[in-house]
Structure formats: structure tokens, C-alpha cells
Homo-oligomer: A and B are copies of this chain.
Amino acid sequence: MNKEIFVKLLAQRQFKAVRSILDVMNEVDIASLLSDLDDKELALAFRLIPKDKAAEVFANMNHSMQTYLVEMFSEKELKELLDDLYMDDTVDLLEELPANLVNRILNTVDQADRTLINQLLNYPDDSAGTLMTTEYVDIRETMTVAQAMAHIKETGIHKETIYTCYVTDQRRLLGIVSAKDLMTTADDVLIRDLMQTEIISVSTHTDKEEVAQLFTKYNFLALPVLDQDERLVGIVTFDDAMDVMVDEATEDITKMAAMSPSEKSYFETSVLAHAKHRIAWLLILMFSATITGTIITRYENAFAAIPLLVSFIPMLMDTGGNCGSQSSTLIIRGIALGEIQFSDLFRVMFKEFRVSLIVGVALALANGIRILIMYKNAGLALVIGLSLVATIVISKLIGCVLPLIAKKLHMDPAIMASPLITTLVDTCSILIYFNIATQVFQL
């Protein structure tokens, strides 16, 4: 859909045309189309969206658009919207609204929903509880397939997914039945005989990253969420798990480059916010790097005697940093994907040690040959070669150990990524280098 045409039609108040465009468009695309309108046009356009799509479009809007619309809505409009919004989207909305609008919404919904919403808002930020929706299909084990299908036909339209049905008794989860099973099984089969009873579930307090990992592993469409009394309180659907996966990967990547993660996209984040997210780590790393500088001054005599020594500093520092970040990156990603645990520490260290020996010797040889050709100085080749091997072994070990220790201490392994490791490795490589140099050249 061409945005300009849409804006023009709307400005000319050609409501019929606008409505027929909105009629055929996907909800996600409508939300994106509306994001280009100014506030007044937005309220107008939103009211032209077909009723069965409005809630879904709303759920796909950014927070500032949502806030504006909630402010504009009449009581009746607000009630209609809230009736159609799934519970997880309502909670998402409330988490971002200013307090006065939150109160307005809580006053609009009925008592039961209000209690539920308050409960959902109280779950820890990164838990399955805040991710889940409370609308799911529940059936009884004594129903037949035909009865279950009839039950879905009646109630299913208001559920976020009907493709996994939950067999419950007094809110205790007995089994699950997929819509595929229902649709391909004879009408008179009992749910009891069809349901799967080996169920994988999470608790309301399960970390959402762990929830997302279960989705990736098992390819679920939905996952039941149980409370502390093992009662079914909601489900997480695959679309929310997918969002978590993408967000977590972005967060990890951001942290690995020494920045505080932002919830907004690059362009949505202001210049000041960008600067704020980046300065803290840069300051810490900058002052740590001065330690390396201070160490260098201790070897003033060495590079006064052989000034050429200074010229190898960048190469050693960079190689150490790169080696360390290679190892830490692999380990951080392995931890994030659930492939590496803290208990693998020694296995990882042994593996990295062997890898670093191979890499170190290869790089030392390559550089040694270059130095022999360029400077015809075997002593220098030896110093650089030994420094390289030692630096690479140490940086790879630091790179693999730190993320695992962070994990053990319940910190995010991603902050143990290249920048922090580079700074640490710098100090090590300078110490190694000048110590070897002073020994070999007897400075």
C-alpha cells in the first residue's frame, strides 16, 4: 500500500476508499501505515479500521500511538477495545502507560479482569507470567472430539490460539490435545483417549529467555504456564517467544559491544539516549586502558634502547583482543543457546587451550618469518613469536573463563565480551611482551 495515497485519501475524507483499503490490509501493515500519520489523523483513521481488526492493529502499534489513542477514546470505545485485546497485550499496554491512563483502564474493565490484570502486572519483569495470555481453550477429558469441537466453535473466537487445547480438571492440567488431532480424529473418540499426558510446562516465574529456548527446542505453538500450586493460569504463544528470541539476541549483541541495551530501535532512540547508553562503558574501559599505559611507562628504558619495540605494541594488543573476543563470543552464544553450562568449565578451558596453541604457533611463525625478512633480526623474531603464543593462550583462556564465571554469579555473560576482555588482555600482553623483551635483549 502506498502511504502517500492513503494519507491523501484520508485528508480528502474519502472514507469509503480508506475503509476498503483497510479492509484488505494485514493488521501489522495497517499499524505501520498509521505510524506516519499525525495524531489527529491517527484517531480518525483508527476509527475506520474494521472492528474485527482494530484490536490487533492496536496491539501492533508503538507505545506513543497507543497512549494517544487511549487518551482520545470515549468510555465506550475504550471498553470495546479492551474487550477485544488479548490479556497479554492489555498488560503490555498498561506497563507503558502513564498512571492516570492506567487508572482509567482499570476503571473500565470489570472486577474479575481488574484482579487478573493486577496479578499479571505483579509478575517479575522477565518472567513467563508477564509474557503469557490468560485466554486459552480448556476442555474436559470426558468430552468427545465432537463435543470439544463444538465447545471451540462457541468460545474459540476470543482465544489467542485454539491450536493447542488444554484438558483441565479444577484448573489442574491433565493433558493437551492439538487442534490437528481433533480435526483428524473420529467424532466419537473421547478426549481422555486422545490427549497427551506427558506435558512440558513452565511456571509463572520462569525466565522468559528459558521459555523462548523451550520453543526453539520443541517447536511448540504454545506452552502452558502453571502457578505455584501447579494450576494452569495461562499460556505463552510462539509469536511472543519469537519476539523474546529476537530481543534477547539484540540485547546480547548490544551488551557485547559495551553498550546498555535500548528497548527502542536505532532511529527511535534519541541522540542523547544513544550517548548515555555508550558513555558509561567507554569511561570504565578508557580508565582501565590507562593501566596498560602506566605499565608501558615502567619499560621506558626498554623502548628507549630499542625504539622498534614500540611498533609491535598495536599488533600484540589487537591480536590478543581479537583472540579473547573470539573465545568469549563463542562461549557467550553457547550459553545463550543452552549448549554450554558452568559445569563445562574445564572441558572448555582444555579445548580453548589446544585451539590457542595451534593458533598461537601459526601466527608466531607467520610473524617470525615476516620479521626475519624485514629486519633480519632473529632475536626480535623470537621475542615477538614467544609473546604472541603467550598472549594468545592467555587471552583465549580469559575469554572462555570470564563468561562462564559471570553465568555462575548470575550476571549476564554478555557483558564479559570483547571490550572488557580486550582491556584485560592488553595489560597481560604488554606485561608478557616487555618481560620477554627485557629477558632476551638483557635490557
List residues of A whose CB falls within 8 A of some B CB.
24-26, 28, 149, 152-153, 156-157, 161-163, 179-180, 183-184, 197-198, 200, 215-219, 221, 238-239, 242-243, 245-246, 249-250, 252-254, 256-259, 265-267, 271-272, 274-275, 278-279, 281-283, 285-287, 289-290, 292-294, 296-297, 300, 303-304, 307-308, 310-315, 317-319, 321-323, 325-326, 328-331, 333-334, 337, 339-340, 344, 347-348, 351, 354-355, 358-359, 362-363, 366-367, 370, 418-419, 422-423, 426, 430
Contacts and interface: CB of A to CB of B under 8 A. Distances in A.
A11 to B, nearest CB: 24
Integer count of this chain's copies in the complex: 2
A311 B180 CA distance: 69
Given A28-B217, A149-B183, A289-B319, 6 more contacts: A271-B354, A271-B358, A289-B315, A296-B311, A300-B310, A318-B423
Contacts of A307: 297, 300, 303-304
Contacts of A221: 221
A297 B321 contact: no
9 contacts: A26-B198, A162-B180, A253-B333, A257-B322, A267-B347, A267-B351, A275-B359, A296-B313, A325-B418
Contacts of A242: 215-216, 219, 238, 242, 245
A357 B190 CA distance: 70
Nearest 6 Cβ contacts at the A-B interface: A293-B311, A257-B329, A219-B239, A275-B358, A292-B314, A289-B315
A120 B374 CA distance: 54
Contact of A249 (B163, B249, B313): B249
A359 B278 contact: yes
A314 to B, nearest CB: 4
Contacts of A325: 257-258, 418-419
B179 A326 contact: no
A310 B282 contact: no
A350 B157 CA distance: 48
Residue of A271, A287, A348, A362 with highest tally of chain B CB at under 10 A:
A271
Given A275-B358, A326-B278, A216 B246 contact: yes
* Most interface-central of A152, A265, A290, A319 (chain B CB within 10 A): A290
